[in-house]
Structure 1
Amino acid sequence: MTPQVVIAEEDVIASVADALQYISYFHPPDFIAHLSRAYERERSPAAKDAIGQILLNSRMAALGHRPICQDTGLVVAFVKVGMEVRFDTARPLAALIDEAVRRAYLHADNPLRASMVGDPLFDRRNTGDNGPAVVHVELVPGRTVEITVAAKGGGSENKARFVNLNPAASVVDWVLKTVPELGAGWCPPGMIGLGIGGSAEKAMLLAKEALLAPIDMSDLLARGPSSKEEELRIELYEKINALGIGAQGLGGLTTVVDVKIARFPCHAASKPVALIPQCAANRHAHIVLDGSGPVRLDPPDLALWPQIVLEQAGVAARKVDLDTLTRADVAGWQPGEKLLLSGHLLTGRDAAHQRMVELLRAGQDLPVSLKDRVLYYVGPVQAVREEAVGPAGPTTATRMDGYVEEILAATGLLAMIGKGERGPAAVEAIARHKAASLIAVGGAAYLVSKAIKSARVLAFPDLGMEAIHEFVVEDMPVTVAVDAGGRSVHVTGPAQWRRSA
């Protein structure tokens, strides 16, 4: 009788922790290859510049071993346990994964941002180590343990959608209706994963697993489809890109680099369809444990990364001095215009906005004056070594929409920086107060951090990464999303590049 394969608990913990560190700064090469092709063929100057920033950021993160994105994600682990394997541990498998998450996210040389809150409903207190992970375990034949780990950012995770279509209804029609409704907060260009069949929970799981498959759309287009599923993937890829949404929603030729589909049998009366977008921070890795010890992943060949010079994108930039900025200056900005910000910049996101609004409603002064200031929606990664701040990319702007009117009316704030579009009420408030909304490129957090020369906490230190900071920035690249007249590039850009497929 063949003896069981024994997997030590430390082998699981060390291997998963190493994989989580690895995916924090290494993009999968297949994603870089397809994004590079998108950069070469992009004709929209704003979208080309955004893709260029993502590619440059990716190479910088790989070289510096620092996170691609400040949102280092919630951890999802798909574990396939061979039936001839025994774990040498008294702890549950999920506890080993959680220990790996703790070790990876608290790593001294490359600390990752803890984003998980323990209670989702009431106090929402941060767990401090990004645990627990979401773990899916499957028992399969074999003598190995296969673990695929992914780090899923909140901006794209929040855009997951589910529908139970009538059996005869068109999946294509639903997808083409749904994708524009996602806005740009999921940080395109990326991927769309579709889970079709099963039940509601099975379809969502299929969609997430589909995103882990190798990106092969360029090969598929070159050789042509060999099945109905491949025909459907190509049709969706072409029609989604024809919507003109483009990189960061600025309007352009590439919104997705691939569309993935996973299927499962379903009830005759149903057609469950789940859609999960994957942002430009496409982070996942696969490891196989066979009892011989922990697994360490080999770094990719950085020669596969293109050498990007952003000026080649052809986007002229206006230099802005934040310390002398006036409302008259803001009135001169145009939708889609690129700005380079220098000077003192405030930060604040969800929790800070909630506290500021509570103070204003109570008739109290804010701890920091926002008059004639610009506010960046960001929760940075902890700094290490000589860094002023860790990777510091934007969070989704629409989450702050409910606060915009009160903040602008009471404080004299001039502009806000986030990612993605603003909702109608926020756009109306911006126009009413002659302010502006700007975007930094989601997926370029390490690149953005290099423009931050110093950082200090001014208020609400107990909020951790959500505290109000003051950054001193030099030539921080942003794009005007909504101008002082209420014109939005997330409306005008896609309209310009929309085409029939």
Structure 2
Amino acid sequence: MTVIRQDDLIQSVADALQYISYYHPKDFIDAMAAAYESEENPAAKDAIAQILINSRMCAFGKRPICQDTGIVTVFVNVGMNVRFEADMSLDDMINEGVRRAYKLPDNVLRASVLADPDGKRTNTKDNTPAIIHHHLVPGDTVDIQVAAKGGGSEAKSKFAMLNPSDSVVDWVLEQLPKMGAGWCPPGMLGIGIGGTSEKAMLLAKEALMDPIDIQELQARGASNRAEELRLELFEKVNQSGIGAQGLGGLTTVLDIKVKDYPTHAANKPVAIIPNCAATRHAHIVLDGSGPAVLPAPALEDWPEITRETGDNVKRVNLDTITAEDVLTWQPGDTLLLNGKLLTGRDAAHKRMTEMLANGEQLPVDLKGRFIYYVGPVDPVRDEVVGPAGPTTATRMDKFTRTLLEQTGLLGMVGKAERGDAAIEAIRDNKAVYLMAVGGSAYLVAQAIKKARVVGFDDLGMEAIYEFDVEDMPVTVAVDSKGSSVHKTGPAKWKEIIAKRA
């Protein structure tokens, strides 16, 4: 009988979560490198380049790939010949591992888990509790898969109870445009089919733990219906033209994963869960010999890539920018931001709109300013700020018109597309929305030279900061006329791909 010691399991979970915070899986790096080589849309190619450069920087700096260090999901298979030498429950041991990982002083990870989700939404401060699934299986080891799932990609999950005769492929392709780019493509789609409603969702999540191997499947051919679906969907999703970060291009997904399970004769439950460009998962096995060890990747695992900027790059001084300057910017323009940039996301926007409604003065004047939708990781060592990539912009859509019209805010920086209501507000106020690349948080943080809290200090990572930035790269996503690159880009590349078919 194998004896698993309590601290070995705790430390193994903690080490695995630290590991995946700064190391991409090699299969992901290889797939992204191949996507970079084949991509023909300059904007999408640059986005992939930023993700790969960020990945390499994080591996060397041992800092998070993304500022959203995720909610932890754990799948545990406990061998029936295992005995635990522990005074804690299995769930408590795993949660202690999460706590230890997220509070490690050398690489503090952002705590994003909130208790009382429909009430006070109070941060638990240590990213616990994890979402834990366990099975008792034959054997004498404890097999653990850990993942850290970002909120932006998780928010794009879809579920439907289809009729038995309905097409899964048609349903997936129908959902794809509704998902937008907030899940940070290119990534993976996990698809669960069958069982019951909750089982389909669980299958989709579990599918994302598998390595990228679509090229191997293409070479050998499908041997069952799930593999047939993978091949068909991989081709058709990439024909959508959505592309990296939703900018339009040849690669929208790196792989499609499908798991199925027997279901009731009257049902066909289907779920989609996307994994983003910050794909983070690891597989560890405890056999009683001590904590599990994950090997560090080799330097040559990352391709040598440098960003290539075209003639449309403009250096912008945020301290002297005028409303007239913004009118000249075109969708797809690359800008390098310099000067003072405010931050604010969901909680700050909610509080600001409430203060405006009550006639109260905001803690900072937004007139003529730009606000960056971000909740940064706490700094360590000599950092000014920790990894600080953008959060999904559509969550701020309902606040956009109020802030533009009542404060004189000039521009916003975030991740992915804006909804129609926000685009109309931007057009009506001759403002602008700029897109930073999701999945390049550490790279973006290098452009931040100073950081200070200027409002709502009690909100922690959701407080309003003022960053001093130097050459922070962004793309004009919605211009002052209301033209959105997230609408024009995919439409253009879908047409290009269709003509080549």
Normalising to structure 1: TM-score of the pair? Answer: 0.98
The SS at the match of 1:69 is coil
Residues 1:88 and 2:85 aligned together: yes
Deviations along 1:84-139, one digit per CA (max 9) or x if unpaired, are: 11111121111111111110000010000000001111100000001010000000
Match of 2:314 in 1: 318
Equivalent position amino acid for 2:133 in 1: H
* Post-superposition offset of 1:314: 4.6
Deviations along 1:234-291, one digit per CA (max 9) or x if unpaired, are: 1100100111000000000101000000010000111110000000000000000011
Q: Are the aligned partners of 2:340 and 2:468 in contact in 1 as well (CA < 8 Å)?
A: yes
In 1, Cα distance between the equivalents of 2:235 and 2:166?
Answer: 20
Equivalent position amino acid for 1:216 in 2: D
Cα separation, partners in 2 of 1:394 and 1:315, compared to 1, 3 Å: farther
Match of 2:143 in 1: 146
The correspondence for 2:395, drawn from 383, 399, 416, is: 399
Equivalent position amino acid for 1:47 in 2: A
Residues 1:430 and 2:426 aligned together: yes
The correspondence for 2:108, drawn from 102, 111, 121, is: 111
Deviations along 1:290-325, one digit per CA (max 9) or x if unpaired, are: 1111112111122011011101x6574111000000
In 2, Cα distance between the equivalents of 1:474 and 1:332?
Answer: 21
Match of 1:371 in 2: 367
In 2, Cα distance between the equivalents of 1:67 and 1:316?
Answer: 31
Deviations along 1:353-404, one digit per CA (max 9) or x if unpaired, are: 1111111001111110001100000000000111110000000000000000
In 1, Cα distance between the equivalents of 2:219 and 2:3?
Answer: 44
Deviations along 1:457-497, one digit per CA (max 9) or x if unpaired, are: 00110100000000000000001111000000010000100
Match of 1:182 in 2: 179
Residues 1:76 and 2:70 aligned together: no
Q: Are the aligned partners of 1:5 and 1:144 in contact in 2 as well (CA < 8 Å)?
A: yes
* Post-superposition offset of 1:34: 0.6
* Post-superposition offset of 1:228: 3.4
The correspondence for 2:166, drawn from 160, 169, 172, is: 169
The correspondence for 1:493, drawn from 478, 489, 493, is: 489
The SS at the match of 2:412 is strand
Equivalent position amino acid for 2:464 in 1: I
5 Å matches for 1:232-251? 232-251=229-248
In 1, Cα distance between the equivalents of 2:466 and 2:12?
Answer: 38
* Post-superposition offset of 1:226: 3.7
In 1, Cα distance between the equivalents of 2:245 and 2:367?
Answer: 29
Match of 2:259 in 1: 262
Q: Are the aligned partners of 1:101 and 1:131 in contact in 2 as well (CA < 8 Å)?
A: yes
Residues 1:201 and 2:201 aligned together: no
* Percentage of matched positions with identical amino acids: 65
* Count of matched residue positions in the alignment of Structure 1 and Structure 2: 497
The SS at the match of 1:109 is helix
Equivalent position amino acid for 1:183 in 2: G
Equivalent position amino acid for 2:348 in 1: A
Match of 1:355 in 2: 351
In 2, Cα distance between the equivalents of 1:192 and 1:165?
Answer: 18
Equivalent position amino acid for 2:318 in 1: L
* Post-superposition offset of 1:222: 3.2
Deviations along 1:189-245, one digit per CA (max 9) or x if unpaired, are: 000000000000000000000011111012222343344332221110010011100
In 2, Cα distance between the equivalents of 1:345 and 1:205?
Answer: 40
Unaligned runs of 5+ in 2: none
In 2, Cα distance between the equivalents of 1:255 and 1:44?
Answer: 12
Match of 1:296 in 2: 293
The SS at the match of 2:106 is coil
In 2, Cα distance between the equivalents of 1:436 and 1:451?
Answer: 21
Equivalent position amino acid for 2:58 in 1: A
Match of 2:411 in 1: 415
In 2, Cα distance between the equivalents of 1:345 and 1:113?
Answer: 21
Residues 1:275 and 2:272 aligned together: yes
Match of 1:59 in 2: 56
The SS at the match of 2:107 is coil
The correspondence for 1:449, drawn from 445, 452, 455, is: 445
Equivalent position amino acid for 1:398 in 2: T
Greater mean deviation of Cα atoms: 212-221 or 142-151: 212-221
Unaligned runs of 5+ in 1: none
In 2, Cα distance between the equivalents of 1:86 and 1:37?
Answer: 45
The correspondence for 2:97, drawn from 95, 100, 107, is: 100
In 2, Cα distance between the equivalents of 1:336 and 1:436?
Answer: 12
In 2, Cα distance between the equivalents of 1:228 and 1:272?
Answer: 16
